[in-house]
Structure 1
Amino acid sequence: MKKAIQFGAGNIGRGFIGKILSQSNFEVCFADVAKDIIDELNQKHEYNVEIVGKNRRVVTVKNVYGVMSNGDEIIEKIKKADLITTAVGPNILKLIAKTLAKGIEEREKSGNEEYLNIIACENMINGTSFLKEEIEKYLSQEIIEGYMKKYIGFPNSAVDRIVPPMDQKNNILDVKVEEFREWIVQKAAFKGEIPKIEGMELTNNLMAFIERKLFTLNTGHAITAYLGMLNGHNTVKESIEDPEVRKVVIDAMKESGNVLIKRYNFERDIHEKYINKILTRFENPHLKDEVFRVGREPLRKLGFNDRLIKPLRGTLDYQLKNESLVKGIAAAMKYQNENDPQAIELNSLINELGVKETFRKVSGLDDEFDLEERVFTQYRSI
């Protein structure tokens, strides 16, 4: 039986990637710093995933266990793994890179000539490439150009599934997910034989799918949360059912969609069906997706290559409408959450520098298109 390590035993790790790997006959080792989760995995070796939507069902995921990702045991697991995936969040990739580098060194020392593929399943563009760069910081040039180049593959991927937090009453491992799922992986970057994994789609045009998801689901999700919060809503479902919020979200996804149609020659009617599918997902009554959770880390979401600014940049490149995207960005800059360090930092920047200068600083955009004034105007109006 093939051995997989899933870094991150949170809701995405268990409810999406770990589930897929287990159902594809992998022995799945979860690596995490949450000792209670790891202990429970080692005691039960299974958990339930509740899939909600039109056809609710519960699937039991088996043949799983866990190790602490900051302990010595994980290195031994990396030495023998056939596949490594991550769902830790973009900011944590740097932290696990040193561990992965040590594991690769140990594989080389032990003479392991089996292929290993490492796939970052994160909400970021080219997450695996970023992880690879971080890993290389801890390796010698000899290992990078020799062993790693020959035996270690780093395919980028795009993942899409809404997995909100769950109220664990009995089993802290159980998780709830929506029916929709998408895991698209860069075919050409694999080393050795590509593993047969149920639900993993291979492509040679990954960026089109990455940006489709980023510009549609992620953009729409974030704007729904930020505007919903400002309108007094608690969940994404409540927010998207607010006619005022819904109109802005749909218009913003159409604006970002126009960029995709221009850039990748997507068929307009097919993309509009994709937008409608996203709206249906936001409306799922079985998912209590809180706007505070979706809106967290606003500085990252307002970054140059992330879900709000990158589609806006595309509209500038192709001289397309972007009024609703600008409104969504202004709403993001109003995000308040005393438990979110990035929200606190964003508010401090606005108090210190003002809205316009803060927008320029966090977005990385200059004022060639008078964006600062437009964002400021929307910021005041909402």
Structure 2
Amino acid sequence: MKALHFGAGNIGRGFIGYLLSKSGYTVTFVDISQPLADQINQFKQYQVITLSTSSAKETIPNVRAIHLRAAEELEDAVVQTDLITLSIGANNLKSTGKLLYPLLKARQQKNPEAPLDIIACENALFATDILKQSILDGADADFHAYLEKTVGFPNSAVDRIVPNVTLAKDSPIDVAVEDFFEWDVEAGKVKHNPDIHGVSYVEHLEPYLERKLFLLNGAHAAIAYIGFLKGYRYVHEAIHDEFIRKTVCAYHQEALEALHQKHHMDKPALEAYAQKLLRRFENHYLQDELYRVGRDPVRKLSNNDRLVSPLKLCNDLHLPYDAIACAIAAGFAFDYEGDPKAMDIQMDILDGGIKYAIRRITGLNESSEMVRNIVENYKKLLHLKRSCLVAVHALAAV
């Protein structure tokens, strides 16, 4: 069995490629970085280093890579593969769908009966649906029929922390990961790949998608943004801060109550999942920097992403959302100069004020109670930041 994975970054190598290789697939990566593709082709294998109380190393053998612009080689790979997976960033799904369209047309001509699955592995709700729609836009009826008959487009929920930790590696393409992972895939949409190692095939994916997006990604972002304001560098440091931990626990309670009411998910199971997340956030072996977790706040504060989605759900269900609003407010106060998207938000605040920035980024109505709550939290967090800066300067002067 052959697998083609778009995106040879840490998630691609340390999570998806890792599981596909353990499932017996011959894995080929596709990446826009020519140096990275060259390194993969040079070494032809890499190690996945699990960071826990006792680290372990596993070798992923027989891998190769194709540069995204190597049109002929890429077309041949798409025509012959059994599975296409992607971890390219949710913002790139639509453009990648346009790139895949002619490649799948070539497969229709050259290998029309062979079944295929395409799975987007992103921190976004129903990412594969977004990709599929981009592929189908403007397509003729014959191509529509071919895809419906032959190509599965299951959505998935993926969960593994893969930090940019600094450690000794045998090769530059080795990757470090946490010891926990979860990959849930829509069973009913799978055409050809029902036995991937480590995958849970589920009939109804939305509860798993939202559980992961709200409780992991949302809380992770909250730690990053509030931790940055308080002067921390790493997730494992920030989560031990009393104010941050209290806020994250309250965030979890608000979000899991909404999930419980919407999906009728077992509340004790949700609470156990939240407790497990806290232990994962405490893993100091990951050395996971807040800048990495919080990067691109424009996307993370957008209308259907990890913070605003649970806020809106709580509002719709008439549930409290103070801690979620605090996390969103911290995202608007995230003024890390090394992040261009964070600086874009700061320019919006400078030009139009905080309410304008919230409306533009989140799509929320400026006059809503949700926005008023975010604004109040934003003012409190700016005061908190100033207090922390004063304390740091006082210590420096001693």
Give the TM-score taking structure 1 as reference length: 0.96
Please state whether the residue corresponding to 1:167 is helix, strand or coil.
coil
Check 1:77–1:109 CA distance in 2 against 1; reply closer, same or farther (3 A cut): same
Distance 2:26 2:314 in 1: 45
Report the alpha carbon displacement of residue 56 of structure 1 after superposing the two structures with TM.
2.2
Which residue does 2:7 correspond to in 1?
8
Counterpart residue identity of residue 98, structure 2 = K
Which residue does 2:331 correspond to in 1?
332
Within 5 Å, give how 1:282-361 maps onto structure 2: 282-361=281-360
Distance 1:340 1:79 in 2: 38
| Larger displacement relative to structure 2 (14-23 or 37-46) | 37-46
| Residue pair 2:358, 2:366 contacting (<8 A) in 1 also | no
Which residue does 1:126 correspond to in 2?
126
Please state whether the residue corresponding to 1:234 is helix, strand or coil.
coil
Which residue does 2:394 correspond to in 1?
none
Distance 1:122 1:45 in 2: 25
State the Cα deviation string for residues 31-52 of structure 1 (Å, max 9, x = none): 0012222112112211000112
Structure 2, unaligned runs of 5 or more: 382-398
| Residue pair 1:6, 1:13 contacting (<8 A) in 2 also | yes
Which residue does 1:57 correspond to in 2?
56
Distance 1:100 1:188 in 2: 23
Please state whether the residue corresponding to 2:21 is helix, strand or coil.
helix
State the Cα deviation string for residues 302-332 of structure 1 (Å, max 9, x = none): 1111111110111111111111111111100
Report the alpha carbon displacement of residue 337 of structure 1 after superposing the two structures with TM.
2.4
Distance 1:365 1:316 in 2: 12
Distance 1:157 1:131 in 2: 12
| Larger displacement relative to structure 2 (293-302 or 225-234) | 293-302
Within 5 Å, give how 1:1-382 maps onto structure 2: 2-72=1-71, 73-137=73-137, 139-144=139-144, 146-167=145-166, 170-191=170-191, 193-367=192-366, 369-382=368-381
| Residue pair 2:50, 2:177 contacting (<8 A) in 1 also | yes
Please state whether the residue corresponding to 1:118 is helix, strand or coil.
strand
Report the alpha carbon displacement of residue 147 of structure 1 after superposing the two structures with TM.
1.3
Report the alpha carbon displacement of residue 369 of structure 1 after superposing the two structures with TM.
4.1
Which residue does 2:387 correspond to in 1?
none
| Residue pair 1:15, 1:177 contacting (<8 A) in 2 also | yes
Counterpart residue identity of residue 174, structure 1 = D
| Residue pair 1:304, 1:363 contacting (<8 A) in 2 also | yes
| Residue pair 1:46, 1:62 contacting (<8 A) in 2 also | yes
Check 1:111–1:51 CA distance in 2 against 1; reply closer, same or farther (3 A cut): closer
Instruction: Say what the alpha-carbon RMSD is for the aligned residues.
Output: 1.4
Please state whether the residue corresponding to 2:212 is helix, strand or coil.
helix
Please state whether the residue corresponding to 2:164 is helix, strand or coil.
coil
Distance 1:166 1:297 in 2: 19
Report the alpha carbon displacement of residue 168 of structure 1 after superposing the two structures with TM.
6.5
| Larger displacement relative to structure 2 (365-374 or 148-157) | 365-374
Distance 2:299 2:346 in 1: 14
Report the alpha carbon displacement of residue 98 of structure 1 after superposing the two structures with TM.
2.5
Report the alpha carbon displacement of residue 342 of structure 1 after superposing the two structures with TM.
1.5
Report the alpha carbon displacement of residue 167 of structure 1 after superposing the two structures with TM.
3.0
| Residue pair 1:37, 1:172 contacting (<8 A) in 2 also | no
| Residue pair 2:83, 2:193 contacting (<8 A) in 1 also | no
| Residue pair 1:75, 1:99 contacting (<8 A) in 2 also | no
Counterpart residue identity of residue 74, structure 2 = I
Counterpart residue identity of residue 175, structure 2 = V
Distance 2:95 2:342 in 1: 22
Distance 1:355 1:278 in 2: 31
Report the alpha carbon displacement of residue 95 of structure 1 after superposing the two structures with TM.
2.8
Counterpart residue identity of residue 309, structure 1 = V
Distance 2:322 2:280 in 1: 24
Distance 1:324 1:195 in 2: 40
State the Cα deviation string for residues 4-32 of structure 1 (Å, max 9, x = none): 00100000000000000001000000000
Distance 1:376 1:135 in 2: 40
Distance 2:80 2:138 in 1: 20
Check 1:53–1:278 CA distance in 2 against 1; reply closer, same or farther (3 A cut): same
Distance 2:317 2:367 in 1: 15
Counterpart residue identity of residue 132, structure 1 = K
Please state whether the residue corresponding to 1:286 is helix, strand or coil.
helix
Counterpart residue identity of residue 78, structure 1 = V
Counterpart residue identity of residue 372, structure 1 = V
- Identical residues among aligned pairs (%): 38
Distance 1:367 1:343 in 2: 21
Counterpart residue identity of residue 352, structure 1 = D
Counterpart residue identity of residue 373, structure 1 = R
Distance 1:31 1:4 in 2: 11
Give the TM-score taking structure 2 as reference length: 0.92
Counterpart residue identity of residue 57, structure 1 = A
Report the alpha carbon displacement of residue 137 of structure 1 after superposing the two structures with TM.
2.8
